[in-house]
């Protein structure tokens, strides 16, 4: 009798184990959301995920072009589910790592033998190091596109271990970088693979708060329920075959997102520019990328000078005042009208292929530096920058940008202010923070 009882208990628990994971795995979110806030002292966009076992909140600087998620593993990394990626494993292949080795001060997170490495980068100050590739649990809120829902987690999320010195220049309280770049191991690629949703993600930044969506729309903002994903303009994403990161493996393409700006117009008039600078050359230099770690759009010196000159010409009668760094030209704000979509100044248009135009309105072109001074919010990027145009944070605030990795195209909404909403208006609800394991 004793034997048959324990057999029954055994089979009952076996049944439990077979059934329970399949129930949980059947919850597949359609999309995920991350909240974004802006750090006033650095102008960095900060997001937060939960990672490790037990889960802890981890604050990260959002870096659209960074290859992977990385965190500082040297400080307070405690997790029972941390697993380094062994040399030649599927994880190392996915990460396209060409570096493998031992670490003699371990074992601990970030320092194990027979593991592959990547180059976690801090693009704010242009530094990088070599760091162990590893996997651990990551948990993020799901969404139906209208409000945030239950948290879901994936147990095998690949990331890179950074070091404490790499934190220099990142906002205070931040513990690493959220890499959304063009790689197989970036956050969008991994979430799409883990939850089987389309290889799309969207970034909508605001001057106080914003949101990142992983997966397809709807993307809706209060007070209306209009789905912004239905009214986007599209332009191809361009692959730069040469890495633009501070450190990279030989032959590695850029993980930054480039678009094909063919010209810039001010008040509808095309500005004469050196076209060579607008395309990407054999060394990977030139062209236009989008960055969330550049606070303001950077223009190569000759482009900067031409655009500034054209802009000044188009607002005759507005007195200039002493420029406030990092800007080169500022105006008396009292002489500029204010409108629903920011200061009433001429539009600056980025001309894209097939007559598509990315219009930059006053809200995104001008920066209020206080004391009744408004500056043109573009910065001289130097005479030989790696990329000729770097579209920065201020210029994309309250514009929703959708990156469609499968179709290699960028969808952009133009300013949500025209639709009487902002990127800060996503309905984040914290009430439904129920852990829901998946995958």
- Does 5 engage in binding with ligand NAG (CB under 6 A)? no
List of residues 6+ apart from 357 with CB closer than 8 A:
233, 265, 349, 350, 351
Number of residues that bind ligand NAG (CB under 6 A): 14
For residues 325 and 434, which CB has a smaller minimum distance to ligand NAG in the complex?
A: 434
Least distance CB 142 / ligand NAG (angstroms):
12
* HEC assignment per residue over 109-129: CCECCCEEEECCEECCCCEEC
- C-beta of residue 359 within 8 angstroms of C-beta of residue 349: yes
Is-cis flag, bond preceding 143, omega within 30? no
For residues 79 and 155, which CB has a smaller minimum distance to ligand NAG in the complex?
A: 79
Q: Which of 4, 276, 337, 354 binds ligand NAG (CB under 6 A)?
A: 276
The two beta strands, 409-415 and 31-38, are unpaired
In what helix (H) or strand (E) does residue 66 lie, and over which residues does it extend?
none
Least distance CB 255 / ligand NAG (angstroms):
24
For residues 103 and 324, which CB has a smaller minimum distance to ligand NAG in the complex?
A: 103
- Does 429 engage in binding with ligand NAG (CB under 6 A)? yes
Least distance CB 229 / ligand NAG (angstroms):
18
For residues 111 and 367, which CB has a smaller minimum distance to ligand NAG in the complex?
A: 111
- C-beta of residue 122 within 8 angstroms of C-beta of residue 169: yes
Tell me how crowded residue 322 is: count the other CB atoms within 10 A of its CB: 6
Least distance CB 416 / ligand NAG (angstroms):
17
Residue in 311, 297, 310 with CA at minimum distance from that of residue 385 = 297
- Does 348 engage in binding with ligand NAG (CB under 6 A)? no
Contact string 355-394 vs ligand NAG (x = CB under 6 A) = ----------------------------------------
d(CA 238, CA 241): 9
Report DSSP state, residue 252.
Answer: P
In what helix (H) or strand (E) does residue 371 lie, and over which residues does it extend?
none
36: three-class secondary structure by DSSP: strand
Binders of ligand NAG in range 408-427 (CB under 6 A)? 427
d(CA 9, CA 5): 6
Least distance CB 99 / ligand NAG (angstroms):
16
Least distance CB 22 / ligand NAG (angstroms):
27
Dig out the tokens for 176 from the structure.
Answer: 């690493």
For residues 106 and 263, which CB has a smaller minimum distance to ligand NAG in the complex?
A: 106
Binders of ligand NAG in range 215-234 (CB under 6 A)? 222
Least distance CB 84 / ligand NAG (angstroms):
10
The answer to whether the Cα torsion of 191, 193, 197, 201 is positive or negative is: positive
What's the half-sphere exposure (Cβ side, CA atoms, 13 Å) at 381?
A: 26
Stated length of the chain: 439
The answer to whether the Cα torsion of 64, 435, 226, 199 is positive or negative is: positive
Q: Which of 103, 312, 315, 439 binds ligand NAG (CB under 6 A)?
A: 103
For residues 102 and 168, which CB has a smaller minimum distance to ligand NAG in the complex?
A: 102
Binders of ligand NAG in range 106-135 (CB under 6 A)? 106-107, 112-113
List of residues 6+ apart from 44 with CB closer than 8 A:
38, 61, 62, 124, 170, 171, 174, 293
For residues 103 and 357, which CB has a smaller minimum distance to ligand NAG in the complex?
A: 103
92: three-class secondary structure by DSSP: helix
Dig out the tokens for 160 from the structure.
Answer: 């890179």
Tell me which stretch binds ligand NAG (CB under 6 A): 88-96, 255-263, 270-278, 352-360.
270-278
- Does 274 engage in binding with ligand NAG (CB under 6 A)? yes
- C-beta of residue 254 within 8 angstroms of C-beta of residue 286: no
For residues 106 and 198, which CB has a smaller minimum distance to ligand NAG in the complex?
A: 106
- Does 277 engage in binding with ligand NAG (CB under 6 A)? yes
In what helix (H) or strand (E) does residue 174 lie, and over which residues does it extend?
none
For residues 161 and 396, which CB has a smaller minimum distance to ligand NAG in the complex?
A: 161
Least distance CB 286 / ligand NAG (angstroms):
7
For residues 84 and 206, which CB has a smaller minimum distance to ligand NAG in the complex?
A: 84
Least distance CB 388 / ligand NAG (angstroms):
8
For residues 145 and 393, which CB has a smaller minimum distance to ligand NAG in the complex?
A: 145
Binders of ligand NAG in range 166-225 (CB under 6 A)? 222
Question: Where on the chain is the footprint of ligand NAG (CB under 6 A)?
Answer: 102-104, 106-107, 112-113, 147, 222, 274, 276-277, 427, 429
């Amino acid at each position: 009798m004793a034997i048959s009882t324990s057999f029954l208990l055994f089979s009952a628990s076996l049944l439990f184990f077979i059934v329970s994971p399949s129930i949980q795995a059947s919850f597949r979110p359609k999309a995920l959301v991350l909240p974004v806030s802006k750090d006033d002292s650095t102008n960095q966009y900060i997001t937060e995920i939960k990672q490790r076992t037990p889960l802890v909140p981890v604050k990260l600087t959002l870096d659209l072009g960074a290859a992977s998620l990385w965190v500082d593993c040297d400080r307070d990394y405690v997790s029972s589910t941390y697993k380094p990626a062994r040399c030649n494993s599927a994880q190392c292949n996915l990460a396209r790592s060409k570096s493998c080795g031992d670490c003699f001060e371990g074992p601990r997170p970030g320092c194990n033998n027979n593991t592959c490495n990547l180059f976690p980068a801090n693009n704010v100050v242009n530094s990088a190091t070599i760091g162990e590739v590893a996997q651990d649990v990551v948990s993020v809120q799901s969404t139906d596109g209208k409000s945030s829902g239950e948290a879901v987690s994936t147990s095998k999320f690949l990331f890179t271990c950074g070091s404490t010195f790499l934190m220099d220049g990142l906002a205070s309280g931040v513990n690493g970088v959220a890499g959304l770049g063009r790689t197989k191991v970036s956050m969008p690629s991994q979430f799409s693979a883990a939850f089987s949703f389309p290889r799309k993600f969207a970034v909508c930044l605001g001057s106080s708060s914003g949101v990142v969506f992983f997966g397809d729309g709807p993307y809706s903002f209060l007070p209306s329920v209009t789905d912004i994903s239905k009214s986007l303009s599209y332009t191809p994403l361009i692959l730069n075959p040469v890495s633009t990161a501070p450190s990279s493996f030989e032959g590695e393409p850029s993980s930054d997102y480039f678009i094909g700006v063919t010209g810039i117009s001010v008040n509808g008039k095309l500005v004469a520019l050196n076209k060579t600078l607008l395309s990407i050359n054999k060394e990977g230099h030139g062209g236009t990328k989008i960055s969330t770690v550049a606070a303001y759009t950077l223009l190569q010196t000759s482009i900067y000078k031409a655009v500034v000159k054209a802009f000044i010409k188009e607002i005759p009668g507005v007195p200039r005042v002493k420029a406030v760094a990092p800007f080169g030209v500022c105006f008396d704000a009292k002489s500029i009208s204010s409108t629903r979509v920011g200061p009433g100044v001429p539009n600056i248009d980025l001309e894209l292929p097939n007559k598509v135009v990315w219009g930059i309105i006053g809200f995104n072109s001008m920066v209020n530096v206080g004391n009744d001074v408004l500056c043109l919010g573009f910065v001289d990027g130097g005479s030989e920058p790696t990329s000729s145009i770097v579209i920065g944070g201020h210029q994309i605030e309250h514009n929703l940008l959708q990156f469609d990795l499968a179709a290699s195209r960028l969808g952009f909404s133009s300013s949500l202010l025209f639709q009487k909403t902002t990127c800060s208006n996503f309905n984040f609800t914290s009430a439904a923070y129920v852990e829901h394991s998946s995958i």
